[in-house]
Structure 1
Amino acid sequence: MEPDFPLTARSIRLTTRPVNAKVNLSVPIPKTRNPSISSSRNVSVNVSQKVLTGKTKNDSGRKYVLSSLTEGKVSQVSTLPLSPKKNLSGPTSNTRDSSNCSKMISANERQKVFTKRTKIDSEKKHVLPSLTQEKEHITKNEYINLVGMKPSNFKREKDRFFKSNFMYNPQFDFGKPPLPSASVQHSQASNRFLQVAINIIQNTLKKYKNYENYEQVTGGNLLTTKQIYQQARKYMETEGCQGEIAVNITEDVVSQASMGTVKRQPTMTINVSMAREQWLQGTLRHEIGTHYFRTVNNSKQPWNNSKGREKYGLEPANPTEEGLATIHSLLFHPDPDLCRVALLYYTIYQASSMSFSELFEHLKIFVKDPDARWYYCVRAKRGQTDTSQPGCCNKDQVYLEGVLHILRHRHAIDFKLLMAMGKVSYLDVNRLKKVAMLSKPRIPNFLKDRNQYMMRLEKIMQVNKLTDTVLRKLVD
């Protein structure tokens, strides 16, 4: 359904403003899983050993081995409590304990696992940063990662908000606060691409009649934990990275998925409440085919740390990183619509001048379903404890911004080189290619045929009614 009035950039206050000084932004260092969220599910799978460990509502913490992936049989092999591990994307989850797992396999298999794990660790020493729990404040980079976590009182505040007829402003508990410089940097909302975002949203709602129908048609049904695991395993086998990445399936995150590390083990976290049958493959291309492969390639480069980046004068990895990943998530979708990232961009801008309840009411012009609106509002307000104040976390605006930058310069970008050089901006590729380490880079299958890849980029342009004329006006 289209809005009751035409939305234009002029009808909305077009100023970039900082968050009100009273806003208290804070996020936690994850320690333990929140016991109050009894309905959440935490499952962690290590593909290399086919071990599924999990914690559900009626399970205090047991280990399972999938004895038959095709038939779905699960055999319990141990009832030892799981040891907690750190998780970038949410409260501590019950991930695989390699010492206990090794007891469940033969000596020969143990040696194979040990050799493979050792090789992976030695080759990917710089794969992904890990977080520590000893600091009273968290740094800027930690804030960016941890801000995707659900507040510890998420369920209670949601219930209270819904019972108040959507008038109450949630008071979220995130734990330890970030450094002031970290929260201030991510509290500035941009309106640069606001009109483009509005156009994309309106075109989508016109096509699908309403947001709820759009989500069902383009996303399909929600997947089970087993289906998620099977698709993830198959994708990693296709890309030749089986055994390298653990899969953490949980509800304790706000985002759809993320890549991180758990004790030097690359780990992909997937939100089971948002994993839909037509979206998951795109999520895997986003997290593994883009973020993970670029991180592995980056570990070989002379700019694989902050000193190296400073030495070579690198531009920030974003918006290139998230823009590229967003494009890859849509690459093979029959209708590669940018509606969700456009709606995130729009919601964050409005959150900078609205309270939570005001924002929730305002989004009704686009999204009728209260649960879907709650999701967008929480993402825009994440990190903010008192949501009665104006304020936002601008992290999710980078998706649409990055997509528009990539599409604007698509003919000039060497996408294989951009992938092979690691965490670099498309602006740095030509300048740095002479010093880049390009021996045996990790290139995803979908990037190997440039002609097909470019055709799919053109389809994204057409579906979202983007033209080169418009992009040249928006992006230098």
Structure 2
Amino acid sequence: MPVQKKKRSKTKVSRSENPKAKDKHKEEKKIQINHSSPKKKEALHIGKIAPLNILEQQTLFFNTNCLINPILLYPEGSNLIGYTEKFQPHNQYLNAAINILENGLLDYKSESNFYQSEYSNLSQSKTLEEFQVYLDTLGIRNTVEIIFSPSAIAPTAVTHNPKTLVSQITVGLPISYCKERIQGVMNHEIGTHLLRTLNERKQIWYKKRDKYGLGAYIETEEGLASLHTMLDSAFSGRRKPYLWRAALHYYSSYYASMCSFVELYQRLDRYMDDPVKRFKEVLRVKRGISNTGLPGGCYKDQVYLSGAIKILQRRKDIDFYKLYCGKLSLEDLFRQEILDLCDLSDIKIPVFLSDIQKYKQALDYIARTNGVE
């Protein structure tokens, strides 16, 4: 998911291999808190950072038979309340999420089977190579830095530094991608998030969004990226393109509002058979609160499914090339004055959009699979 990058020390790929958890926690805290600075620090955006004690709490959780709610520690100055109150939970697409998950279970019996592949997970070096080839194909390798982190909550995330114009792709360790699945990951993180960010800089509204009345785009952004995650499955037919991950995030986010960490972990047992992945999913939606024994958490992840469904519902009316002219929401895309401003002359388009008819057929297949008219 794309978030604006916080100023931090540049980390080389070679330095991120097999770091000790304890040292990593100290390093993160050191980066986030500069005690020597005489200037007043702004509150940190919790969406950009992970709790400092993830690995410690994960070990404790499993050592206590998954019955102790983690206590999460955050860097000093984190605006936890501001972050958790930014999004509110809703159940508008809860039935859709449950239907996707239940139909996925009917077809594949478990999440592990759904993601099962004849290939083993990629090594760190092979993952780096796959990302570099994808970037080279688009001609943007020099604009991106790739790092690996054992404390990342999301398996992969892209952040952007508006000052240096260099983007960073953070890949969580251990790597959970095989050869088949990584194509969808790259379509999501690079083919959607990164390209729309680069194209935003070439539009007349760049750094002037308020002037042109452009609104929040996160729902469209993550919905589009979620669809692109499943494009390769839709193209190849190897696996039905269920929006499993988006549905899981929606379901988890909704029930985080009324469950403790332990209760949500138990509730997800039906849909997630891998204990570690389930822990990370609960952690993802409970971030932003310290005492996870209380209801509440981060509800932003509902936008993956709601955004995907809204795009599928209007897919026949969308100009997908113009949707790539920056960080546009569906609502803004359908404003004629914004359509007229879209500059297609020098934008980067992902390879999968080179055949627009094939792309639209894939979206039709994804829509049918997930019960969207």
Assess same fold via TM > 0.5: yes
Give 1:463 shift: 2.6
The match for 2:3 is none
Matching residue of 1:400: 305
| Structure 1 match to 2:137 | 238
Say whether 1:346 aligns with 2:246.
no
Cα deviation 1:3-57 (Å, max 9, x = unaligned):
xxxxxxxxxxxxxxxxxxxxxxxxxx8979xxxxxxxxx9844xxxxxx454434
Paired residue for 1:329? 229
Q: 1:137 Cα shift?
A: 4.4
CA shift for structure 1 position 255: 0.5
Correspondence list, 1:75-86, <5 A: none
Deviation string, structure 1 residues 326-358 (Cα, Å, up to 9, x no partner): 111111123222112111110111110011111
Shift of 1:455: 0.8
Correspondence 1:280 to 2:185: no
Residue 108 of structure 2 is matched in structure 1 by 208
Output the CA distance in 2 between the equivalents of 1:133 and 1:192: 47
Structure 2 residue aligned with 1:356, among 261, 277, 289? 261
CA contact 2:123–2:175 (8 Å) conserved in 1: no
Match of residue 110 from structure 1: none
**Counterpart of 2:292?**
387
Counterpart position of 1:18: none
Are 2:315 and 1:410 aligned?
Answer: yes
SS of the aligned residue for 2:363 comes to helix
CA shift for structure 1 position 274: 4.0
How much has 1:360 moved relative to structure 2? 1.2
Change (3 A) 1:177 1:150: closer
Amino acid at match of 2:252: T
8 Å CA contact retained: 1:43, 1:55: no
Match of 1:106 in 2: none
Counterpart contact for 1:43–1:53, Cα < 8 Å = yes
Q: How does 1:31-180 map to 2 (within 5 A)?
A: 44-45=12-13, 52-57=14-19, 136-138=41-43, 142-144=45-47, 146=48, 149-175=49-75, 176-178=77-79, 180=81
1:185 to 64, 71, 86: 86
- Within the alignment, does 1:451 sit opposite 2:347 as a pair? no
Checking the alignment, whether the CA contact within 8 Å between 1:291 and 1:325 is kept in structure 2 is yes
Give how far 1:406 is off. 0.6
Q: Kindly indicate whether the alpha-carbon contact (under 8 Å) linking 1:255 and 1:271 is maintained by their aligned counterparts in 2.
A: yes
Of 389-398 and 272-281, deviating more is 272-281
Displacement, 1:392? 1.7
> Does the Cα contact within 8 Å between 1:257 and 1:270 map onto a contact in 2?
yes
Q: CA RMSD for the aligned pairs?
A: 2.8
Alignment-mate amino acid for residue 50 of structure 2: K
- Equivalent positions of 1:432-451 (< 5 A) are 432-451=338-357
Q: Shift of residue 426 of structure 1?
A: 2.1
Aligned with 1:248: secondary structure?
A: strand
Per the TM alignment, residue 318 of structure 1 is displaced from its structure 2 partner at its CA by 2.2
8 A Cα contact 2:151 2:173, kept in partner:
no
Equivalent residue of 2:92, what SS? Answer: coil
1:426 is aligned to 2:330: yes
In the TM superposition, residue 433 of structure 1 has moved relative to its aligned partner by 2.1
Distance between the aligned counterparts of 2:170 and 2:31, measured in 1?
Answer: 12
Displacement after TM superposition at 1:177 (Å): 2.0
Maintained 8 Å contact 1:194/1:346: yes
Answer yes or no: is the 8 Å Cα contact 2:100–2:247 preserved in 1.
yes
State the partner residue of 1:249.
Answer: 148
CA contact (8 A) 1:223 1:272 kept: no
Q: Does the alignment pair 1:258 with 2:157?
A: yes
How far 1:301 moved relative to its partner?
A: 1.9
Larger radius of gyration: 1
Q: Deviations over 1:242-292 (max 9, x none)?
A: 222111122221012111146722111111324411221111111111111
| Aligned pairs, number | 349
Are 2:161 and 1:199 aligned? Answer: no
> How far apart are residue 85 of structure 1 and its match?
9.9
Q: Decide whether aligned partners of structure 1 residues 30 and 349 sit closer, same or farther in structure 2, where only a CA change above 3 A counts.
A: farther
Q: Give 1:191's aligned amino acid.
A: N
SS in structure 2 opposite 1:332?
Answer: helix
Whether the 8 Å CA contact 1:167–1:357 is kept in 2: the answer is yes
Distance 1:178 1:328, change over 3 A: same
- Which letter does structure 2 place at the counterpart of 1:160? L
Deviations 1:83-132 (A, max 9, x none): x999xxx9969xxxxxxxxxxxxxxxxxxxxxxxxxxxxxxxxxxxxxx9
If the length of structure 2 is used for normalisation, what is the TM-score?
Answer: 0.85
Give distance in 2, aligned partners of 1:134 and 1:329.
42
| Structure 2 Cα separation of the partners of residues 327 and 434 of structure 1 | 26
SS in 2 for 1:226: helix
Any conservation in 2 of the 1:224–1:272 contact (CA below 8 Å)?
A: no
Counterpart of 1:450 in structure 2: which amino acid?
A: I
Q: Which amino acid aligns with 2:190?
A: I
Instruction: Tell me if structure 2 keeps the 8 A contact 1:189–1:392.
Output: no
